[in-house]
């Protein structure tokens, strides 16, 4: 069975600090997909990134970067120079099928608070 663990329940930083959100997953499949979603205080879920199990290259998008380490089953998310607008709950999720049709298994989420 698949499982996603986000050990950090809450993180509080001061604006402009860098912050890393941890995500560890478990799966028996060799083909799987990892995702990060953001849930701001308004409540909607915003897709951030999708990564497949065969692509271990790190990804950078503006102030966001993701570090996929297959050896440690981790898919960590770093926000550089954090801003107040980054305050949200961040969810890591896992899917075991390549094409549409597989449930997402979510971690419990990390509440990030960025203070001015």
Contact residues: another protein, CB under 8 A:
33, 35, 37, 43-47, 50, 91, 95, 97-109
Q: Least distance (Å) from another protein to the CB of residue 56?
A: 19
Burial (Cβ within 10 Å: 0-12, 13-18, ≥19) of residue 24: middle
Q: Which are the contacts of 86, defined by CB distance < 8 A and separation ≥ 6?
A: 79, 112, 114
d(CA 3, CA 34) in angstroms, rounded, equals 11
Tell me whether residue 71 or residue 100 sits nearer to another protein (CB atom): 100
Q: Least distance (Å) from another protein to the CB of residue 95?
A: 6
Tell me whether residue 61 or residue 99 sits nearer to another protein (CB atom): 99
Q: Least distance (Å) from another protein to the CB of residue 32?
A: 10
Tell me whether residue 44 or residue 71 sits nearer to another protein (CB atom): 44
Tell which residue, 23, 20, 3, 1, has the closest CA to residue 11: 20
């Amino acid at each position: 069975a698949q499982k996603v663990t986000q050990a950090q329940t809450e993180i509080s930083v001061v604006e402009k600090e860098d912050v890393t959100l941890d995500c560890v997953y478990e799966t028996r499949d060799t083909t799987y997909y990892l995702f990060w979603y953001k849930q701001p205080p308004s409540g909607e879920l915003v897709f951030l990134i999708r990564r497949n199990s065969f692509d271990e290259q790190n990804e950078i998008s503006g102030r966001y970067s993701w570090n996929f380490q297959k050896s440690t089953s981790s898919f960590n998310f770093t926000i550089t120079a954090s801003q107040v607008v980054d305050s949200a709950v961040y969810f890591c999720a896992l899917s075991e099928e390549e094409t549409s049709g597989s449930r997402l298994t979510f971690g419990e989420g990390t509440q990030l608070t960025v203070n001015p």
